[in-house]
Amino acid sequence: MLYFSRWKIYLILATCIAGFILMLPNFMGRDTLAALPSWYANSRVSLGLDLRGGSHLLLEVDMATVIRDRVEGLVDGARQQLRTANVGYTALNAGERAVTVQLRDPAQAEEAVKALRQLSSPVGRTALGGGQPDLDVTVNGGTVTVALSEVALRDRATQAIEQSIEIVRRRIDETGVNEPTIARQGNDRILVQLPGVEDPDRIKRLLGTTAKMTFRLVDVNADPSTGRAPPGSEILPSTEGDRYQSKYVIRKKVEVDGATLQNASAGTNPQTGEWVVNFEFNTAGANRFAEVTKQNVGRPFAIVLDNKVISAPVIREPITGGRGQISGNFTAANANDLSVLLRAGALPAPLKVIEERTVGPDLGADSIRAGLTAVVVGFVMVCIYMIACYGLFGAFACSALFINLVLTLAALSLLQATLTLPGIAGVLLSLGLAVDANILINERIREETKKGRGVFASMEAGFSRAYSTIVDSNLTTAIKMALLFVFGTGTIKGFAVTITFGILISMFTATVLVRLMMVTWLRRTRPAVLPV
């Protein structure tokens, strides 16, 4: 263990030098970084919300809307199935989580149940098949009830939260926020942390907008001023202001779904100069849009966003190119925000902000200073203790401890990790864990020296006997940090990552680098007594 071949020495030194090179971008200014290759300049540690400042939002998914949308879809499906099966009914009503059908002839209950069960779809299906129906169909006299099952409710909740997280991530990525934290919290909540965001209100508007867009025909035969809509239609408000109608009677049937949009971008109308949103459908959407506009020339075609009419132009001619334009008295910011929402897709349900915190950049700077002060003070105190107890070997340990810090920062930079205040605490704690290995080695060497063994024999025994203990202690710590990373969220994961890097790198610095320093010193000076 006291012999190092030349290639091993070169490999150890190359590792230390590479660590210094990789950590340097964290201390360079923007002008210097701009002149460097992007792969190197971007290899930096990002500061978290508590260090850089920004916004913390806790969003709640409106599950009642998810369930209501499914129940409303069941109404149309039940009407169609009963009509196909020639089952007469006198009433078809939607409740909170069920649809009830009052049959004209109770003797047709069995036929009605058979027809309505076709609306069910399996949930909880695995790769081996199976799954349970998402609807429970029951009969009580002449009344048939179609209710969402408990399995369906759980499945809907899971799908809604997963889809919402993905869409929230897309919308935030469109705004250019670096290193956002987006994670599920509980059954129906989403945690969003946005470092460096200076306009949290705009982010809240983007996340709070469902952005469910549909293209539907205007019912020109109905008057919205009466306050009553005919069956199959509804009265919706307009966002066009005083220039046009304040309300429209809109057909409930969705002619073209906004989910078929392929792209959207803000622009200006070359004739009027006003801001508009240009959109483009995918192949399926373009075909459907062309078919609808061909069949309804001369009729107003409403563009409905979140149950509000943003535009209702008259179809002058069939639109077959799959492209269109939305005008609605937009400002530049409104047009850009709407295009972001349309590109990211619609949320399955509205998101409600139930908790909001803003961390100012000054507070973040104070946290950075406090964290760096703690690391420096901790490092100095550890070095004082090690040198006081073990002399020259303690100084070797302090040098290795500094290299440990450099390599930890280099590893975090290489992964472009996010550093938070708990992460700094993890770095400080890893200093103590890293030096434990050197304490074990030095104590073993001291014990062997007291037994009267020679210089080389004492060092050989000290390293070999302490090694298994060092591996065991670091392995148990790594297992605990892995559990924190798997089951923790946000800053807890950051703490676990920095501790893990610290102890893994300490296996190199404490047992390999320090041994190289000691062996080099030993072979050059040939001391009669070890300084421990």
User: Domain check: are 333 and 241 in the same one?
Assistant: yes
* CA 21 – CA 512 distance, rounded (Å): 21
Mean pLDDT is highest, among 34-48, 133-147, 360-374, for 133-147
Instruction: Assess if residue 136 is contained within a domain.
Output: yes
Residue pLDDT, tens place only, 349-405? 788 888 887 776 666 677 778 878 888 888 898 899 889 988 889 899 999 999 998
User: Domain check: are 344 and 373 in the same one?
Assistant: no
User: Domain check: are 502 and 386 in the same one?
Assistant: yes
Angle, nearest 10°, between helix axes 421-450 and 455-487? 160
Instruction: Assess if residue 170 is contained within a domain.
Output: no
* CA 407 – CA 506 distance, rounded (Å): 10
What lies within 8 Å, CB to CB, of 162 at 6+ separation is: 184
Residue at which a domain ends, from 348, 373, 407: 348
Mean pLDDT along residues 222-234: 85
Number of domains in the chain: 3
> By the 8 A CB rule, do 290 and 319 touch?
yes
User: Domain check: are 430 and 519 in the same one?
Assistant: yes
User: Domain check: are 332 and 446 in the same one?
Assistant: no
> Of 282, 341, 288, nearest to 319 (Cα)?
288
User: Domain check: are 280 and 391 in the same one?
Assistant: no
Mean pLDDT along residues 414-439: 82
Mean pLDDT along residues 339-346: 76
Give me the pLDDT at residue 16, please: 92
> By the 8 A CB rule, do 309 and 303 touch?
yes
> By the 8 A CB rule, do 134 and 166 touch?
no
**Residue 131 scores a pLDDT above 70:** no
* CA 111 – CA 17 distance, rounded (Å): 79
**Residue 243 scores a pLDDT above 50:** no
**Residue 337 scores a pLDDT above 70:** yes
Residue pLDDT, tens place only, 269-312? 877 788 888 888 888 888 888 999 889 988 988 888 888 888 88
DSSP category for residue 323: E
For the purposes of burial, counting CB atoms within 10 Å of the CB of 132, is it exposed (0-12), middle (13-18) or buried (19 or more)? middle
Instruction: Assess if residue 246 is contained within a domain.
Output: yes
CATH number of 470's domain: 1.20.1640.10
Instruction: Assess if residue 274 is contained within a domain.
Output: yes
Give me the pLDDT at residue 128, please: 42
Q: What percent of the chain lies above the pLDDT cut of 90?
A: 5
**Residue 14 scores a pLDDT above 90:** yes
What's the token pair of residue 489?
Answer: 């969220």
Sheet holding 275-281, edge to edge: 261-268, 275-281, 323-330
Instruction: Assess if residue 479 is contained within a domain.
Output: yes
Q: What percent of the chain lies above the pLDDT cut of 70?
A: 94
Phi-psi map region of 479: left, alpha, beta (phi>0 left; psi -120 to 50 alpha): alpha
CATH number of 280's domain: 3.30.1360.200
Which residues constitute the domain of residue 219? Answer: 211-348
Question: Using 50, 70 and 90 to split pLDDT, how confident is the model at 126?
Answer: very low
For the purposes of burial, counting CB atoms within 10 Å of the CB of 225, is it exposed (0-12), middle (13-18) or buried (19 or more)? exposed
Listed range (128-132, 334-338, 496-500) with the worst mean pLDDT: 128-132
User: Domain check: are 376 and 490 in the same one?
Assistant: yes
What average pLDDT does the chain have? Answer: 82
What does the DSSP assignment read for 117-131?
A: GGG--EES-BTTB--
Instruction: Assess if residue 460 is contained within a domain.
Output: yes
Give me the pLDDT at residue 355, please: 84
User: Domain check: are 376 and 520 in the same one?
Assistant: yes
Residue at which a domain ends, from 315, 348, 381: 348
Residue labelled with tokens 């260090």: 51
> By the 8 A CB rule, do 25 and 33 touch?
yes
User: Domain check: are 32 and 82 in the same one?
Assistant: no
Residue labelled with tokens 């320093």: 517
Instruction: Assess if residue 182 is contained within a domain.
Output: no
Instruction: Assess if residue 452 is contained within a domain.
Output: yes
Mean pLDDT along residues 247-273: 84
